[in-house]
Amino acid sequence: MTGFSIDWLDLREAADRRSRNDKLLHQARHWLGSDREQTAELNIVDLGAGTGSTLRAFSTAVESDQKSLSWHLLDQDAALLAEATSRHGASHRLQTYELDITNIFALPLEDADLITASALFDLVSADFIDALVTALRSRCQQKPAGLYAALNYDGTTRWTPTHTLDQAVLDAFNRDQRNNKGFGLALGPDAGPYMELMFSRSGFRVFSANSPWVLDGADIKLVDALIDGIGDAVSKDPALDASELKGWILFRKAHSLTGTCEVGHTDLLALPDTV
Ligand SMILES: C[S@@+](CC[C@H](N)C(=O)[O-])C[C@H]1O[C@@H](n2cnc3c(N)ncnc32)[C@H](O)[C@@H]1O
């Protein structure tokens, strides 16, 4: 069990989809098709693929031919991968790999043209990103390969109406975001800037764009689940008083239909300088 249920991934998918930066998504697809034979098979390796949300984003946002794309979905959760196969196995070239992705050098990246991920990199450590940069750089010695990383949480959350505890809760939440999520100490909100720095330093051309969740009463189920998730994550933080936190949760739930919530993310595309 990883704690990422099909229900939770389904609940967030509409917000994720409309938040992804379409320009970067199109740029990624265009780059994949450029300078290659029309008939060539293009391998996309999706890390922490879940039920296939990045595959769906590519399929719906990008009008070009999907037939040449061969998807390799990597995740440690067999139930999520089975769901991905049941949803897309008949319509897409798709292979799933049930494995722990923490050791980059053991992953099936040898044929990758593009590595993708969404809502993953805030969970990983700086060491993981360093290894990913090295693996991609070495892959590029055979064939150019890029990285498309969507929906990296950036540490900002803004609510309306405001509450006096908002900042303290956000600070506690961001502290929790930096705890070990299975990859060593997590980058959390630093993931986007760290990737930008490391891929640029390694000679990749890096493009990044904001991709915030902008939520209102139409997203009430997601907003309520987010409030619960934040409440759970910060419940043991010594800087927060338990009864004040309870009051914050009640206030937030009382306004989830009429208020708004913006959660900051960034999308990133790193392309080798060779193409
Ligand atoms: C927030 S979910 C995102 C799923 C999907 N990319 C999406 O956007 O809907 C994070 C995913 O990473 C996977 N994951 C987390 N740690 C992992 C690990 N060490 N090895 C493989 N998969 C992992 C989880 O199982 C989950 O599917």
Helix (H) or strand (E) holding 91: none
The pick from 1, 2, 8, 45 for probing ligand 1's pocket by mutation, whose C-beta has the most ligand atoms within 8 angstroms, reads: 2
Cβ distance 262 to 170 under 8 Å?
A: no
Question: Residue 85: what pLDDT?
Answer: 98
Contacts of 193 (CB under 8 A, 6+ apart): none
Tokens 């509409």 — which residue?
14
What is this structure's pTM? 0.96
Q: How far is the CA of 186 from the centre of ligand 1 (A)?
A: 14
CATH superfamily to which 6-157+180-215+264-271 belongs: Vaccinia Virus protein VP39 (3.40.50.150)
Rounded to the nearest angstrom, the distance between the alpha carbon of 115 and the centre of ligand 1 is: 14
pLDDT of amino acid 73: 98
Separation of alpha carbons 171 and 96, rounded Å:
37
- Does the C-beta of 77 come closer than 6 Å to ligand 1? yes
In short, whether 101's Cβ falls inside 6 Å of ligand 1 is yes
- The pLDDT score that the predictor gives to residue 274 is 64
For residues 236 and 89, give the distance between their C-alpha atoms in angstroms, rounded to a whole number: 42
Q: Which atom of ligand 1 lies nearest, measured to the CA of 181?
A: 16
Backbone region of residue 141 per phi and psi (left: phi > 0; alpha: psi in -120 to 50; beta: other values): alpha
Residue nearest to atom 8 of ligand 1 (CA): 118
Ligand 1 and 52: CB distance under 6 A: no
User: pLDDT means per 10 residues in the chain (275 residues)?
Assistant: 84 98 94 72 96 95 70 98 98 96 95 97 98 95 95 98 98 98 98 98 97 98 98 98 98 98 98 76
With a 6 Å cutoff on the Cβ, whether 4 touches ligand 1 is yes
Q: Can the peptide bond before residue 238 be classed as cis, meaning omega within 30 degrees of 0? A: no
The CA 49 to ligand 1 mean position distance, Å, reads 6
- Whether 148 and 155 have beta carbons less than 8 Å apart is answered as no
